């Protein structure tokens, strides 16, 4: 989910998805704040609703609620989709995927349960550090259209600061660290077919390994280290910049096109391939967070716990914009959702289809004809979205159900002198800066307190991008994907000001319009697994390619098994593979799983009619791997042709690492 590329079908696992949770509670008032960072592209309202319903069944309706729980996606583009319930976002996934939805809901609930059971008396500190050479702005020409006086307040056209909350118990033992840094997790490009948490997921693994010990398996251990999303809308990890594929020349800065014969335009990371780029960017983010964490400095977070949540109808909501050209404050209303032409062009991180260009501000009669067949905009709609030419009038597309959301949740929570703004989409760099400043000033005017504002991006619901009104004029991808018109940010600023002000005053606000429940309307074109099979004389788990007898550090172990389809059973809190080391007493100890950076597996259907398939397992032996005797075990389930699913396992022969 993320590149909207229908050819990008999953084939295995590189890095597993995890949900990482912190809970802060005030024992005197029983107020609580919950933040969950999930290795997913974004978050859907139906997922959060499912989580809240399950928490209410366990803890009652008053402890964990819509207003005090934030669920934020890291925005990895290499994790399964099919859980967002709006058609446009699930279209490239061929609709709803129950396995994805259930895994997310149950995994997030388990994460919150674990945090609930492990709460300790403690202290929280906030600190920040600059991360160098980890992000660039992928739409610099749009950023440059923001007022010069505003741009001069900042040293870069992306946010370089990593903000960290450090959690300690009363003995000063660090329990966890949650980090926010603005970067798209798209180091793994759209040719990738393996589930991966990308650069920020790798940073989490490194930080947790550092604090929990090298021997601790990924996902285990007491320390929790998260890298959550912020205002990453126009921010790329592909720091080598966009180039023409065949010549290496620079692409056109507005359209991201290359001259004829020079191939497509795409940006690349600092490594020789996407795996190395992911490792480099993830390592740089981790190293900055580790340095910050180990310094044990920062400002202690003290004060009240508060939360506020309200839904709004973005098409009828209004906001006020200070026009720097006319020096007037004008009021604007939102538009029905629509996507522009440049949306179809994609980005330099993942180019789109057909011949669409970024920066397009004129329409095409042929594309308009096709657009109108799906949902025709009125002249009022066209003027409302101007200068964006409408390619998809998603706000009027309701077959077979709503294409994009119109009712949107907004939420702020306060942890003493820190405010988390849960934003339901992707703010660009300058949009995020305006949002932080606006909330900060609102709190200051109400309470006199100087607070730190953190943008928690891609939270609770996904509504695409939010560019500034000035960036909107340029109609790069981010602007064309700004759903509710030129003044989408203007409306959000007003709304977040309102809920922040009400929170500071301890006022109650109306809940707002109810978000639609589209659960019973979901469709899926994903075919189920009908049956598995294997050749005569063989069985599931049989080894087709055994490992070599001896390996050295730096080598790659390769093993291939007869398998069932991995979709037969979602193995959560487990592994499809284990790398096991033989102990002195003859027992075996698990050293690596399919969640480790150094492992991956790839599934392949070898005979569709007979239902035969194979799984290939790879282990790159790192320099810090222990010498000794090893084996590979594979675990899976097969679908019997007459019904029923059955577990199987397979074990490779022993081999030596020396």
pLDDT, tens digit, for every residue of 86-145?
Answer: 999 999 999 999 999 999 999 999 999 999 999 999 999 999 999 999 999 999 999 999
173 contacts: CB under 8 Å, gap ≥ 6: none
Contact by Cβ (8 Å): 495, 317: yes
Integer Cα distance of 23 and 124 in angstroms: 11
The pLDDT value recorded for residue 325 is 61
The pLDDT value recorded for residue 350 is 86
Catalytic option among 139, 230, 236, 307: 236
**111 annotated active-site:** no
Tell whether the model's pLDDT for residue 28 goes beyond 90: no
The average pLDDT across 412-434 equals 98
The average pLDDT across 362-369 equals 92
pLDDT in tens, 537-589: 999 999 999 999 999 999 999 999 999 999 999 998 999 999 999 999 999 99
Contact by Cβ (8 Å): 475, 325: no
pLDDT in tens, 511-547: 999 999 999 999 999 888 999 999 999 999 999 999 9
Backbone Cα Rg of the chain: 25
Considering all CA atoms of the chain, what is the largest pairwise distance in Å, rounded to the nearest integer?
Answer: 81
Residue 121, Cβ density class (10 Å: 0-12 exposed, 13-18 middle, ≥19 buried): exposed
Confidence of residue 274 (pLDDT cuts 50, 70, 90): very high
pLDDT in tens, 598-616: 999 999 999 999 999 999 9
Rounded to 10 deg, the angle between the 488-504 and 429-447 helix axes is 30
Q: What is the DSSP string of 189-234?
A: -TT--EE--HHHHHHHHHHHHHHH-TTSPTT-SS-EEEEE--S-TT
Residue 361, Cβ density class (10 Å: 0-12 exposed, 13-18 middle, ≥19 buried): middle
Integer Cα distance of 113 and 110 in angstroms: 5
pLDDT in tens, 284-327: 999 999 999 999 999 999 999 999 999 999 999 999 887 666 67
Computed over every residue of the chain, the mean pLDDT equals: 95
At 373 the three-state DSSP class reads helix
Total residue count of the chain as it appears in this document: 658
In the chain, % of residues over pLDDT 70: 99
pLDDT in tens, 331-347: 899 999 999 999 999 99
The pLDDT value recorded for residue 117 is 97
Confidence of residue 328 (pLDDT cuts 50, 70, 90): confident
- pTM beyond cutoff 0.85: yes
Contact by Cβ (8 Å): 515, 45: yes
pLDDT in tens, 439-477: 999 999 999 999 999 999 999 999 999 999 999 999 999
Closest CA to 14 of 554, 575, 594: 594
């Amino acid at each position: 989910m993320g590149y909207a590329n229908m050819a990008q079908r999953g084939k295995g696992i590189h890095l597993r998805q995890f949900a990482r949770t912190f809970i802060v509670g005030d024992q005197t008032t029983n107020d609580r704040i919950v933040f969950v960072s999930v290795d997913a592209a974004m978050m859907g309202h139906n997922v959060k609703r499912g989580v809240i319903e399950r928490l209410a069944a366990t803890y009652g309706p008053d402890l964990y609620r819509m207003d005090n729980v934030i669920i934020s996606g890291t925005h990895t583009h290499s994790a399964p989709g099919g859980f967002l319930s709006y058609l446009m976002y699930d279209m490239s996934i061929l609709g709803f995927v129950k396995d994805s939805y259930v895994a997310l809901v149950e995994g997030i609930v388990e994460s919150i349960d674990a945090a609930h059971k492990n709460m300790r008396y403690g202290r929280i500190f906030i600190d920040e550090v600059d991360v160098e050479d980890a992000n660039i702005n992928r739409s610099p020409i749009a950023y440059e259209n923001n007022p010069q006086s505003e741009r001069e307040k900042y040293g870069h056209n992306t946010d370089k600061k990593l903000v960290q909350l450090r959690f300690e118990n009363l003995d000063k033992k660090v329990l966890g660290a949650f980090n926010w840094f603005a970067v798209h997790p798209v180091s793994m490009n759209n040719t990738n077919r393996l589930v991966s948490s990308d650069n920020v997921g790798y940073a989490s693994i490194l930080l947790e390994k550092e604090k929990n010990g090298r021997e601790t398996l990924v996902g285990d251990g007491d320390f929790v280290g998260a890298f959550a999303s912020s205002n990453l809308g126009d921010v790329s990890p592909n720091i080598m910049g966009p180039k023409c594929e065949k010549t290496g020349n620079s692409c056109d800065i507005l359209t991201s096109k290359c001259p004829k014969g020079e191939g497509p335009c795409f940006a690349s990371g600092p490594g020789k391939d996407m795996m190395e780029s992911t490792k480099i960017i993830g390592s740089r983010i981790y190293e900055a967070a580790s340095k910050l964490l180990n310094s044990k400095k920062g400002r202690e977070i003290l004060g009240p716990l508060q939360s506020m949540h309200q839904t709004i109808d973005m098409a009828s909501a209004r906001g006020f914009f200070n026009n720097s050209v006319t020096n007037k404050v004008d009021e604007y209303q939102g538009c029905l959702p629509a996507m522009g032409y440049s949306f179809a062009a994609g980005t330099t991180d993942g180019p789109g289809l057909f011949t669409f260009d970024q920066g397009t501000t004129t329409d095409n009669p042929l594309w308009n004809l096709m657009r109108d067949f799906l949902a025709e905009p009125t002249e009022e709609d066209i003027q409302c979205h101007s200068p964006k030419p409408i390619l998809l009038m998603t706000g009027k597309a309701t077959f077979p159900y709503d294409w994009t959301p119109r009712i949107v949740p907004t939420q702020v929570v306060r942890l003493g002198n820190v405010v988390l703004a849960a934003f339901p989409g992707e703010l660009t760099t300058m949009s995020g800066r305006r949002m932080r400043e606006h909330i900060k000033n609102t709190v200051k005017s109400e309470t006199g307190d100087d607070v730190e504002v953190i943008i928690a991006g891609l939270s609770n619901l996904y509504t695409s991008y939010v560019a500034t009104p000035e960036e909107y004029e340029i109609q790069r991808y981010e602007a064309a994907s700004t759903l509710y018109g030129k003044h989408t940010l203007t409306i959000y600023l007003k709304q977040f000001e309102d809920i922040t002000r009400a929170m500071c005053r301890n006022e109650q606000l109306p809940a707002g319009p109810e978000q639609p429940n589209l659960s019973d309307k979901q469709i899926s074109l994903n075919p189920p697994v009908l049956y598995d099979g294997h050749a005569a004389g063989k069985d599931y788990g049989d080894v087709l390619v055994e490992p070599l007898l001896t390996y050295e550090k730096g080598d790659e172990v390769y093993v291939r098994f007869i398998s069932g389809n991995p979709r037969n059973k979602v193995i959560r809190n487990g592994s499809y593979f284990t790398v096991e080391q033989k102990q002195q007493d003859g027992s075996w100890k698990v050293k690596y799983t399919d969640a480790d950076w150094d492992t991956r597996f790839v599934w392949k259907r070898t005979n569709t009619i007979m239902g035969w398939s194979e799984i290939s397992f790879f282990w790159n032996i790192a320099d810090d791997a222990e010498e000794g005797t090893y084996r590979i075990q594979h675990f899976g389930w097969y679908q019997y042709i007459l019904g029923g699913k059955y577990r199987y396992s397979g074990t490779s022969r022993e081999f030596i690492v020396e």
